[in-house]
Amino acid sequence: MDDDGAAGAEAAAQYFLQLRPYIMQTNDTAEWEAMSHQACAPCAQGLEQASRIAQRDDTWEGGATQTRLLHAYEQDSATGLWPMDIEVNEAAATVTDSAGNTVYEQDPRVSTARVEVGRRDGRWVVVNVAQPPEQ
């Protein structure tokens, strides 16, 4: 992620995608927040959910996320954003409450995300995690 070009953008995007289950498990969100642009709605959702889990004293398990770069596009000259399509492989996840009841279950699934990464103050920020637009 030290690289400030395409390679760094791709590394930042994959790192951020893989970070999600960690913040759900620990509510340790410092890195997540540092890499989230305020315009990124899925980033805000992740932060809010990690906080909600902690507030309710629930426990998140699983959801390990593997990623694979499918296609890296040219940097957008107007905004400086690096768009890329990434395959997101989420393992099964469960949430249990403090009494040990399972309150949420998530099946494993594979999806494709269009991730848009930008530079702000010389650091990588994730601006968007979207459905890939139809061609």
Partner 1 sequence: MNALAIASTLILGVALAPPETDYSGWADNYTKEVFAGATGKASSDEASGGGQSSAASKDKYFRADAKTCAIGDLDMLVDIVTQAGTCAEGYAETVVPAPCEDGTYQLDALWVQRVQDDGSYAPAEQVSEDQCVTPGDIRAEAERAFRSMRVSAPPVTLQGGEPLLVNVRYPAYTTAAAQEQDVTLLGVPVTIRAEPVEFAWDFDDPHSPGGGTLVTSDPGRPWRDGDPTPDESWVGHTYTRLGEPGSDAGSAVDDAGNTYRSGVTVSLATTWEGSFRIAGSTDWTPIAGTITTTSAGEPATVTEARTQLVCDDLAGSATC
Q: With binding defined as CB under 8 A, does residue 57 bind partner 1? A: no
| 45 near partner 1, rule: CB under 8 A | yes
125 binds partner 1, rule: CB under 8 A: yes
Query: What whole-number distance in Å separates Cα of residue 83 and Cα of residue 68?
Result: 14
Per DSSP, the residues of 49-100 read HHHHHHHHT-EEEE--EEEEEEEEPPPPTTT--EEEEEEEEEPPEEEE-TTS
Q: How far is the CB of 30 from partner 1 (least distance, A)?
A: 20
Count CA within 13 A, CB hemisphere, residue 59.
Answer: 8
Positions that interact with partner 1 (CB under 8 A) = 3-8, 10, 17, 20, 37-39, 41-42, 45-46, 49, 52-53, 56, 58, 60, 63, 65, 71-84, 88, 90, 93, 95, 97, 99, 101-104, 106, 109, 111, 113-114, 116, 118-122, 125, 127-131, 133
